[in-house]
A and B are shown apart, each in its own frame.
Chain A
Amino acid sequence: MNLLSLDIRVGSAGVTHLGKREQEFHEEVVRMVRAPTTPVMRLGLANCSPISPRQMVHERRCIGGIVQTALQGVSAPVETCLIDFTSNQFFVVGEPLLLALADAFALAFESNLCSYFILLVPQLPGPKSASLNRFAGLTTNPVSPTIVLVSNAGETQAFGQHAAKVPRSLSSYGGLIDARFGSPEARLARKCVRRLGHFKTSDPPGRQGPCRHHSYFVFDCDTELLALLSNWWRLHAPNTKAVLYDLKHNPSFRNAIKTLADSQEIAAERVVDALANRQLGSLIASMGPCTLILDVVEQGEVLRHYIEQLAGSGIKVNHKVLAAVSKAGSIDVAMGDYRVHSFLQRPRDPVVAKCIQCELKLPLSAEAAEPQGPIRTYDMLHMANTCGWEPEPAPEVPDNIGLAFANIPAFTPILQEYGDWLGYKLYDVLRSGLSPDDWFVVHPDESDSTVLAERLQACMDEPLCVVRVPRDAIKAAQMAGNQWHQVLHRYNTEFWTQQLTSMVKSSALILDIFNASGSTAATLQALLRHYRIEPFAYMCLANFEPTMKSIPGSGVPIHTLYDWYNPRTLQSRSAQIPTVSAHVRA
């Protein structure tokens, strides 16, 4: 049985490769729905099909063109056409889009291009929605296309000639979805960030804890925490009637607890409210032992403090306690009579005899939220000193422009150790209004830049299109005075040029690890303009040329996490400029 599958990315600015995992996922779904007697043979389409944010507003009918073009692009009639929306959140799969898709199915059926369509959607549309009305209307004739909708939960809704043969639910489909997108634990781990700063524990009130250089936070992970919490609750606290929590820095977890409590019809309140509000405290106390949920558990001081305080108000605490993050050495840890389970384990902060940051009179960092903006010098040097220094990697040196750096921070281990935080810092700037609606990332095809783009993607719920331009192509363009038309013919079969061709009217973010002369950014900007794409910003971890606020010769702003004066020594530059190692020695 042949299969044509389209992986639709709503909100993505350009095409990306369809991985083997996605392809196998599509084949497995066809086997589940149709139980074919012959092997499933996938036809063509190595890339996903994007629908850009602009098209979502102005051209939601473009889905019809995408399907039509794909079906016409194969020589044989297609036995199964699978349209996959599972990479998207359901709310962007709008009714006009599904209505246009219904028209595309009708046209394909009338044209004898295909008669069996499988539509994978995160949820099934409402039974009386316009789209289901349209799908049902298309399939009223005895000879009609078969249309099968499958939700992420494995529920099916089938219309048309062969609808009766489709199972009502696909029991193992949920496992396929988890395998494709990761378990809640894995997804949560991607949304947990260890930030650097100068933190001093003030919880519980009155406690003067030691200073810390690290603080953890999770973001945009209500769904993952709810899944984990629900599972834990079912196993460990099914009969508990009340939850008390202290999560003022973790609104995602607080929301997950309130969601679970509302569904289970149990009470869930802040510890501080139960202690301050006598009426509420009495009510909680009357419900029997409550479950205590904390943000981070380390040495158990906060836990012991709250247990004592709550006992004073007549509130007993269950012996099973829950925390978002454990820094106590294990995900399950015994603390006195209590056993604390956590969803994430992170290393404990090193104990220091005295706080250097206090000696330097560095102000304390706000625990509540990661501030937007550059990182502190103390943190930059800490990362560099922790991860080491190295000569600039030879393959990445633009030796046609300038000399290699003798000594720079080892960005590979820095990204490994602190990439979650650095990626989040970039994401935070972008989501605060810097990025336009329709954008993608372009960067030199180098391993550190690739990791940085991956860290950025990990922060986002929407698919991010990334274009990686080989360094040899950048150098060739620079040798040609940034006249890309003189060199692009050598690369016109490569994927990155195909991507750029598909991205007319989008905006680009140029990404790199550091800026040293602006030459790479200027060359990438010239590349984008060759494709009539406007860059909206150039982002880098460090700007070694802080006087440069925009890409040379343009108004494209440079956003960096750290300004560090250390410009590259250009081939044409006569004066020797101090190197990083000189700075450090000084």
Chain B
Amino acid sequence: MLSATSTAKPFTELIARGLFRDSQRLDFQGDVLADDIEDQLSRFYSRGLGERPLLLDFASAEYIEVASLVNCIATIVDRTEHGRITAVGLPRIKSVRDFMRVWRFAEAVAEATGVAFEEFVPVEERQLLEEPQTTYTGIGGALDLLEFDPDWTPDSAATRNFFEFITLVHPDRQPIAPDTSFAAAPRKLSGRWTAPLIQQVLKRHMGDASPKDDVARVVVYEAVGNAIRHPGARVIQTTSKFDRKGRSQDRRAAGADSERADRSHCSSRPEGHLRICVWDDGASIASTLLPLVKEGCPIRAFALPSYMCERIFVQLRSYDGQTRREEVVDQSEDLAPDSAHEAHMLLASLYPGVSRSVAQSVGAVEPFDEQRSSEIEPLKPSAPGMGLYALVRTVLDQFQGTLLIRSGRYRLLIEVAHDAFRSQHNVRYKCKITQYPDSFPPFRGNLLTIQLPIKNPA
């Protein structure tokens, strides 16, 4: 079933396709990437239609990238909380609907908004929510079983689809705090990635040389650990997907053709990708750092040895693709109040040792008492702000993948600089930061999309 139920009911109007004029209908055709969602949203907002009802119409979609579903949820949450009508048109193709069903998109929308998914579906299509899933059978290799467990029952402790949306939300929708039971979230969510079956799939598709446990230990753990620390977050969601070239269900796979590869989250790899998305609806990353820097508070507690700090080629550009500035920055740079701005802080969040917690008081380290804590003062360095730094090292250097952060008015894409580019600019990484137009509402929360290349698509 695609349906999911909840208690709240925000809309007094019955949602029907006739409610939406052409200008209020975003028509996603063929392969739908996260960028397609944002491109069409940008046009919608630029016409000053933001307060009008909006239909995210997937009727003509033939493939939907999993990150684009997260993007949709962030949009729906934001618009719903602002009292703006938003609807989701279901794909005409059954296998695409089944993809949404098996990934539990409906439940994810309901859990993120507190509103039953059917409330977002045009009335003409609601009968589709009841149809049975027929595309995924679990027959085939280990990945097929991970995507759909045919023996799953609602009593099962595990999920039916290993990669499906998982939502963390307080029962009464209070903000998530890292010192509550949510502290266990990084451990619980990353621990799932250590079981032999997913480890075998990682080994098969990502090659023998990479340590597969680092997907759990670093990628998932640190991404979720970062999300639970964002102030004001009430919802955290994770989802992931292997996109393999040559599979009908993964048409876009790695596939983005070269012209779109640059606009896609990551550079093109012919064999496919594993995408892991972690989204929270809390304060944007830059907004937690910028005020501190502007006030002259430290966000970096110590000077790191030079071998821990890398040089990054940064291209800052507008949403229409025009380059506004190019520069090389060093992760050891001084984060001065007068030069700090949102894009800069977003990038700085990846530097080693940078964290807003540095500006906050640091208590004694249990079980050591106050007297002893003074003895270990020299050991405080390397504590805060190392999570995203470690994540970048593992994703970019270890797996040769990419990290995309959508947050506030910016999108940051960072990857390893290769060969000629690397030597030409004497940098280890290259980073594109895209600024969204003022008409485009700030992105709701923070979305980390980690994309790891698949070496063996079979």
B183 nearest CB across to chain A (Å)? 4
Contact of A61 among B139, B181, B379 (CB under 8 A): B379
Check A103/B381 contact, CB under 8 A, given A129-B390, A258-B197, A262-B201: yes
A248 within 8 A of B: yes
Q: Verify B393–A133 contact, CB threshold 8 A.
A: yes
Please indicate the chain B residues that have their CB under 8 angstroms from the CB of A94 in the complex: 217-218, 221-222, 387, 390
Q: Verify B372–A91 contact, CB threshold 8 A.
A: no
CB interface residues, B 159-199, toward A, < 8 Å: 178-179, 181, 183-184, 186-187, 190-191, 193-197, 199
Q: Which residue of B lies closest to A256 (CB)?
A: B196
- Complex Cα distance A123/B218, Å? 13
- Complex Cα distance A11/B190, Å? 14
Please indicate the chain A residues that have their CB under 8 angstroms from the CB of B213 in the complex: 90-91, 122-123
For the residues of A in contact with B, the DSSP-based class is: helix
Please indicate the chain B residues that have their CB under 8 angstroms from the CB of A54 in the complex: 179, 183
Residue interface bits B349-386, CB-to-A below 8 A is 1, else 0: 00010000000000001111000110110111111001
B204 within 8 A of A: yes
Q: Verify B307–A133 contact, CB threshold 8 A.
A: yes
- Number of residue pairs A-B, CB distance < 8 angstroms: 204
Residue interface bits A75-114, CB-to-B below 8 A is 1, else 0: 0000000000000011111111001101110010000000
Q: Which of B158, B196, B375 has most chain A Cβ within 10 Å? A: B196
- Complex Cα distance A548/B376, Å? 48
Residue interface bits B137-159, CB-to-A below 8 A is 1, else 0: 10101110100011101011010
- Complex Cα distance A96/B204, Å? 28
Q: Verify A68–B153 contact, CB threshold 8 A.
A: no
Q: Verify B383–A59 contact, CB threshold 8 A.
A: yes
Residue interface bits B387-413, CB-to-A below 8 A is 1, else 0: 101100110011000000000000000
Please indicate the chain B residues that have their CB under 8 angstroms from the CB of A277 in the complex: 139
A353 within 8 A of B: no
- Complex Cα distance A504/B393, Å? 35
B437 nearest CB across to chain A (Å)? 36
For the residues of B in contact with A, the DSSP-based class is: helix
Chain B residues with a Cβ closer than 8 Å to the other chain, count: 69
- Complex Cα distance A27/B303, Å? 37
A17 within 8 A of B: no
Q: Verify A269–B139 contact, CB threshold 8 A.
A: yes
B18 within 8 A of A: no
Check A251/B201 contact, CB under 8 A, given A96-B386, A437-B181: no
- Complex Cα distance A277/B150, Å? 14
Q: Verify A91–B221 contact, CB threshold 8 A.
A: yes
Contact of A222 among B178, B181, B195 (CB under 8 A): B195
A6 nearest CB across to chain B (Å)? 14
- Complex Cα distance A127/B393, Å? 10
Q: Verify B139–A280 contact, CB threshold 8 A.
A: yes
Please indicate the chain A residues that have their CB under 8 angstroms from the CB of B386 in the complex: 60, 95-96, 99, 130
B211 within 8 A of A: yes
Q: Verify A369–B200 contact, CB threshold 8 A.
A: no
Q: Verify B153–A368 contact, CB threshold 8 A.
A: yes
Q: Verify B142–A123 contact, CB threshold 8 A.
A: no
Q: Which residue of B lies closest to A369 (CB)?
A: B155
Please indicate the chain B residues that have their CB under 8 angstroms from the CB of A269 in the complex: 139
- Complex Cα distance A119/B149, Å? 39
Chain A residues with a Cβ closer than 8 Å to the other chain, count: 74
A96 nearest CB across to chain B (Å)? 4
Check A68/B379 contact, CB under 8 A, given A130-B389, A130-B393: yes
B271 within 8 A of A: no
CB interface residues, B 65-117, toward A, < 8 Å: none
Q: Which residue of A lies closest to B306 (CB)?
A: A137
Q: Verify A96–B398 contact, CB threshold 8 A.
A: no
Q: Which of A93, A99, A263 has most chain B Cβ within 10 Å? A: A99
A124 nearest CB across to chain B (Å)? 7
A363 within 8 A of B: no
Contact of B211 among A65, A124, A255 (CB under 8 A): A124
Contact of A57 among B151, B178, B211, B305 (CB under 8 A): B178
B308 within 8 A of A: yes
- Complex Cα distance A256/B145, Å? 12
A426 nearest CB across to chain B (Å)? 16
Q: Verify B186–A57 contact, CB threshold 8 A.
A: yes
Q: Verify A369–B153 contact, CB threshold 8 A.
A: yes
B225 within 8 A of A: yes
Please indicate the chain A residues that have their CB under 8 angstroms from the CB of B178 in the complex: 57-58
Residue interface bits A121-138, CB-to-B below 8 A is 1, else 0: 011111111110110010
B169 nearest CB across to chain A (Å)? 14
- Complex Cα distance A102/B387, Å? 15
B210 within 8 A of A: yes
A240 within 8 A of B: no
B354 nearest CB across to chain A (Å)? 13
CB interface residues, A 241-256, toward B, < 8 Å: 247-248, 251, 254-256
Q: Verify A64–B307 contact, CB threshold 8 A.
A: no
Please indicate the chain B residues that have their CB under 8 angstroms from the CB of A366 in the complex: 155
A496 nearest CB across to chain B (Å)? 16
Check A126/B394 contact, CB under 8 A, given A11-B187, A65-B376, A259-B142: yes
Q: Verify A56–B196 contact, CB threshold 8 A.
A: no
A273 within 8 A of B: yes
- Complex Cα distance A91/B224, Å? 13
Q: Verify A437–B380 contact, CB threshold 8 A.
A: no
Please indicate the chain A residues that have their CB under 8 angstroms from the CB of B141 in the complex: 258, 261-262
B27 within 8 A of A: no
Please indicate the chain A residues that have their CB under 8 angstroms from the CB of B218 in the complex: 94-95, 126, 129
Q: Verify B398–A127 contact, CB threshold 8 A.
A: yes
Q: Verify A259–B196 contact, CB threshold 8 A.
A: yes
Q: Verify B382–A96 contact, CB threshold 8 A.
A: yes
A69 within 8 A of B: yes
Q: Which of A54, A95, A277 has most chain B Cβ within 10 Å? A: A95
CB interface residues, B 210-232, toward A, < 8 Å: 210-211, 213-214, 216-218, 221-222, 225, 228
Please indicate the chain B residues that have their CB under 8 angstroms from the CB of A104 in the complex: 379
A423 within 8 A of B: no
- Complex Cα distance A103/B143, Å? 40
Please indicate the chain B residues that have their CB under 8 angstroms from the CB of A256 in the complex: 196
A55 within 8 A of B: yes
Q: Verify A102–B382 contact, CB threshold 8 A.
A: yes
- Complex Cα distance A99/B393, Å? 13
Q: Verify B387–A96 contact, CB threshold 8 A.
A: yes
Q: Verify A125–B211 contact, CB threshold 8 A.
A: yes
Please indicate the chain B residues that have their CB under 8 angstroms from the CB of A504 in the complex: 366-367
Q: Verify A53–B382 contact, CB threshold 8 A.
A: no
A118 within 8 A of B: no
- Complex Cα distance A261/B228, Å? 37
Q: Which of A58, A137, A280 has most chain B Cβ within 10 Å? A: A58
Q: Verify A222–B197 contact, CB threshold 8 A.
A: yes
Q: Which of A53, A134, A269 has most chain B Cβ within 10 Å? A: A134
Q: Verify A262–B200 contact, CB threshold 8 A.
A: yes
Please indicate the chain B residues that have their CB under 8 angstroms from the CB of A11 in the complex: 187
Beyond A69-B376, A89-B194, A130-B393, 18 additional pairs, beta carbon < 8 A: A56-B187, A57-B228, A65-B376, A68-B375, A91-B213, A94-B221, A94-B390, A96-B382, A125-B214, A126-B211, A130-B389, A130-B394, A133-B307, A137-B308, A222-B197, A248-B151, A261-B141, A270-B150
B contact residues vs A (CB 8 Å cutoff): 137, 139, 141-143, 145, 149-151, 153, 155-156, 158, 178-179, 181, 183-184, 186-187, 190-191, 193-197, 199-201, 203-204, 210-211, 213-214, 216-218, 221-222, 225, 228, 305, 307-308, 352, 365-368, 372-373, 375-376, 378-383, 386-387, 389-390, 393-394, 397-398
**5 pairs of residues in contact across A and B, judged by CB atoms under 8 Å:** A57-B228, A95-B394, A222-B195, A259-B199, A262-B201
Identify the 3 closest CB pairs spanning chains A and B, nearest first: A61-B383, A64-B379, A95-B390
A contact residues vs B (CB 8 Å cutoff): 11, 52-62, 64-65, 68-69, 72, 89-96, 99-100, 102-104, 107, 122-131, 133-134, 137, 222-223, 226, 247-248, 251, 254-256, 258-259, 261-263, 269-270, 273, 277, 280, 366, 368-369, 371, 436-438, 501-502, 504-505
